[in-house]
Each structure stands twice: as structure tokens, then as C-alpha cells.
Chains A and B, each alone.
Chain A
Amino acid sequence: MRLVPNADWRRTAGAAAVICLVGGALVWCGTDGFRALTSEQARRLAVAASPRAIPRVDLEDQDGRPFALDSYRGRPLLVDFVYTRCRSVCPLLSDAFQRVDRVAQSTSAADGDERLQLVSITFDSLDTPADLRAYAKHYSADGRAWRFARVREPRELESLLRAFQVVVIPDGRGDFQHNAAFHVLNAEGRLARVLDPDARPSDIARAAEATAPR
């Protein structure tokens, strides 16, 4: 057996320690302290830590009325992204939005506050205002407190989705896969929270209201 000098073992121990420390630190940073193993978790943490600006995009609602998310400044707004032909995750999102809508309706009636507003934005360029109107009716939305919208200028859709960090990929069969989440714009119109649609409707409504300065 060959005799290995002790100095080499000391150097190796040092190198191993540096590798563990630096590697561990990088992985720690890259996963936000092991809290974000997926980009969806990372997005939620980043948004909660520092609310981000959303570009101004011209929208039109289910009745063809033009508006922008800016017009909701001064109060919190819940936003989700769906498309009307979706049979997988959007019905779950819209069912949950419907429950939040009802909670918001009853609490605002109780304490006389301005009620929480909801907007569902379609990312499918095939969706027309008429499709949105039928969709709104299906979820018994009033079209005011809960509006359905599409982007008027198709080119602007991408920048809107990018700002919300919503990734939409066509599955090749005419459908899309996309993040399933609710987005809270705070009173300054910044994306302040990303919420899990599986949460209790009252908790979602409360979390959204909590972003508004009292």
C-alpha cells in the first residue's frame, strides 16, 4: 500500500468543506432557503416579499366595455387566468372564484365596505366577449363585481402573462396547461400575493383584503 502524505488529506478535507459550504449556500439561495423547490413556490415567495408592478394593458370585458386593471387602484383586486373551453383546471378555478365572490358579497353586505372585486382574464385568443358572457352566466357572475376580460391587443397578452409569471403552454390538442393560482393586486395596483385556489374562500377574501392599507 502506498503511503499518502497527511498534507493531502488535510487539503482534501478543506476542499470538501469548501465544496459543501459553497454548494450548500448556492442551493440554499437557489431554493430561497429550501422553501421554493418549484418555480411556482418561488413566484409566490418573491411576490409576497416585494409586490411587483403590472404593465398597463387594455382589456375589454364580457360586454365589450374597454377597461384596464389600473381602474381598480385604491382597493384590492383578485385576478385569475382562464379560458372558456378549458375542462381541466379552469372549472376548478372558476368554482373557487364563485365561492370567493359569494363570500365577498355577503361580507360587504354585512359591514357596508366596498366589496372585493374579481377579474378573470382569458389567455385564449379565440375567446370572444360573447364566449365570456356565456361563461359569466354559467358561473352566475354579475359582470360587475366579477368581470371576465380579454386582452384587446393580442401582442400585449404576452407581457401581461410575463408580468404575472403565468406560463401558458398549448398541449397540441387545442387546450392549454397553465399555472392555477389567484393573484391579488393591492391598492397600488401591484401584484402583492399569489394564493392557492384550494384555500378556503373566506381565507382568500381575507388575504386579498389584507393587502389594502387601512
Chain B
Amino acid sequence: MNAYLASLLFVVLALPPMRHALERVMFAHMLVQIPLLALVGIVGAASIPVTLRQRIGAWNRGGVSGALLALIASSWWMVPRALDWALASPFMEATKFATLPLFVGVPLALSWSSLGSMGRGFLIANLLPMWAVVGWVYIAAPVRVCNYYLVDQQVLAGYGLLSASVAVGVAAGLLPFVRPATTSAIRAES
């Protein structure tokens, strides 16, 4: 079911009209297409067979290597040059479609549960300030950072990144209060 959902989402995202629609606007490129491609990996990871999961787990104790991989791969796709590159070169576009699910979504899904509060804190404390700083640069930069996007789009994407950073920060802050209730609810169900 998860594999089906993930491939459906991937195919929809890869359809040329969808690709062009999302990539025409910088905001949609950074804050819709890229997160959804990572989501493909997150959803798809649920259908990785247990044996393979265990074999990967032997290289990913505490979720350390997976978290690092997701951190590095997701950071690359925030670089303005990478966005331009994906639009200019079909090879880089294919790389984007491959690396976001495989090197961001899947490792995140496989690592999250074993990361522990320290690891999660580390990951979030690295990602959120990065989004906020990149967002702020896009809003305040006196120059156009992407050759393929207009300045007003860049500012919009900047506000989007700032908001995403704040929203995820608030959600992460609330998570500890919400989680015990949901896990006990799941336990009660099963």
C-alpha cells in the first residue's frame, strides 16, 4: 500500500505538466516539490522488507548515518545554484528526483525512530536555523540568487522558508506533549 502510494506520488510529481507548474515558481519548487519528493521516500520506506531494514540498521545504529545523509542531501537542494542547475540540465533534474526520495526521505524514515531525543534535537537544531537563514538571505539579498527566478519570487520563497522553519520549530516543541497521548491511544487500540 505504501509502496503504491509512494510511486503514485512520484509519478504525479514527475509528469511534465506538474514538473513545469511547480518549477515555474521558486516557492513551489522549494516548498512543495522538494518536500513532496522527500515525502515519497518517507512513505515508500515503510514498505522496505524487514530483512533489508535490519541489514541497513546494522550500518545505521542510533540513526546516525541516516540523519547525516538526509542532512547533507537536503542542504544541497537549498543551494540556489542547485535549483538553477536542475532547471538547466536534465541530468541534474533526474538527480534531484532520485536523491530527494532515496537520500533524504528514506534515511529520515529509517533513522527517526532510533534517533532518540538527542539525535532529533541535533537534526532539528541544524535544519531549522539553516532554513531560516536561507529564507532571510532570499528576502534581504540585493541580488537575484537564481537566474531562473524573478526577485519577487525569491522574496516569496524566503518568507516560505522562514515560515516553514517557525512552523516546524513550533511543531517540534509541541511534539513531546502530544506524543504520549497518541502512543497510548495506539496501544489501547492494538
Which A residues are closer than 8 A to B by beta carbons? Answer: 4, 7-9, 11-16, 19-20, 23-24, 26-27, 30-31, 36-42, 167, 169, 171, 177, 179
Write out the residue numbers on chain A whose beta carbons fall within 8 Å of the beta carbon of B58. 7-8, 11-12
Judge if B68 is at the interface, Cβ distance under 8 Å: yes
Question: Contacts A9-B61, A177-B144: A37 and B68 contacting too (C-beta < 8 A)?
Answer: no
Q: How far is the CA of A24 from the CA of B148 in the complex (A)?
A: 26
Which residue of the partner chain A has the closest CB to B84? A39
Main secondary structure of the interface of B (DSSP, over half): helix
Binds A, one of B36-44, B70-78, B120-128, B158-166: B70-78
Write out the residue numbers on chain A whose beta carbons fall within 8 Å of the beta carbon of B80. 37-39
What 5 new A-B contacts, CB under 8 Å, besides A38-B147, A39-B80, A167-B148? A7-B58, A26-B76, A27-B75, A27-B76, A30-B81
Which residue of the partner chain A has the closest CB to B67? A16
Write out the residue numbers on chain A whose beta carbons fall within 8 Å of the beta carbon of B73. 23
Q: How far is the CA of A69 from the CA of B135 in the complex (A)?
A: 41
Complex A-B, nearest 9 residue pairs according to Cβ-Cβ distance, in ascending order: A23-B72, A167-B147, A15-B65, A39-B84, A12-B61, A16-B65, A15-B59, A38-B80, A8-B61
Of the residues A13, A19, A31, contact of B79 by C-beta under 8 Å: A31
> Quick one: which of B11-58 are within 8 Å of A by CB?
57-58
> Quick one: which of B69-112 are within 8 Å of A by CB?
69, 72-73, 75-76, 79-82, 84-85, 88
Instruction: Tell me how far the C-beta of B23 lies from the nearest C-beta in chain A, rounded to whole angstroms.
Output: 13
Main secondary structure of the interface of A (DSSP, over half): helix
Write out the residue numbers on chain A whose beta carbons fall within 8 Å of the beta carbon of B143. 40
Judge if B156 is at the interface, Cβ distance under 8 Å: no
Judge if B60 is at the interface, Cβ distance under 8 Å: yes
Contact check, A38 vs B62: say whether CB atoms are below 8 A apart: no
Write out the residue numbers on chain A whose beta carbons fall within 8 Å of the beta carbon of B65. 12, 15-16, 19
Contact check, B79 vs A12: say whether CB atoms are below 8 A apart: no
Q: How far is the CA of A42 from the CA of B83 in the complex (A)?
A: 13
Write out the residue numbers on chain B whose beta carbons fall within 8 Å of the beta carbon of A27. 72, 75-76, 79
Judge if B8 is at the interface, Cβ distance under 8 Å: no
Of the residues A7, A16, A171, A177, contact of B68 by C-beta under 8 Å: A16
Q: Give 21 pairs: A residue, B residue, CB < 8 Å, sorted on A.
A: A12-B58, A12-B59, A12-B61, A16-B64, A19-B65, A19-B68, A20-B72, A23-B76, A26-B76, A27-B72, A27-B75, A27-B76, A31-B79, A37-B79, A37-B81, A38-B84, A38-B145, A38-B147, A39-B84, A167-B148, A177-B151
Number of A-B contacts (CB under 8 A): 81
Write out the residue numbers on chain A whose beta carbons fall within 8 Å of the beta carbon of B84. 38-39
Of the residues A13, A42, A171, A177, contact of B81 by C-beta under 8 Å: A42
Contact check, A24 vs B82: say whether CB atoms are below 8 A apart: no
Of the residues B57, B81, B148, contact of A169 by C-beta under 8 Å: B148
Q: How far is the CA of A177 from the CA of B57 in the complex (A)?
A: 49
Of the residues B57, B62, B79, B144, contact of A30 by C-beta under 8 Å: B79
Instruction: Tell me how far the C-beta of A125 lies from the nearest C-beta in chain B, rounded to whole angstroms.
Output: 20
Of the residues B64, B82, B147, B150, contact of A12 by C-beta under 8 Å: B64
Q: How far is the CA of A26 from the CA of B76 in the complex (A)?
A: 9
Write out the residue numbers on chain A whose beta carbons fall within 8 Å of the beta carbon of B146. 38-39
Q: How far is the CA of A177 from the CA of B143 in the complex (A)?
A: 12
> Among the interface residues A11, A20, A23, which one has the most CB atoms of the partner chain B within 10 A?
A23
Q: How far is the CA of A177 from the CA of B153 in the complex (A)?
A: 12
> Among the interface residues B57, B88, B150, which one has the most CB atoms of the partner chain A within 10 A?
B150
Instruction: Tell me how far the C-beta of A78 lies from the nearest C-beta in chain B, rounded to whole angstroms.
Output: 21
Write out the residue numbers on chain B whose beta carbons fall within 8 Å of the beta carbon of A7. 58
Contact check, B150 vs A171: say whether CB atoms are below 8 A apart: yes
Q: How far is the CA of A16 from the CA of B85 in the complex (A)?
A: 27
Contact check, B148 vs A30: say whether CB atoms are below 8 A apart: no
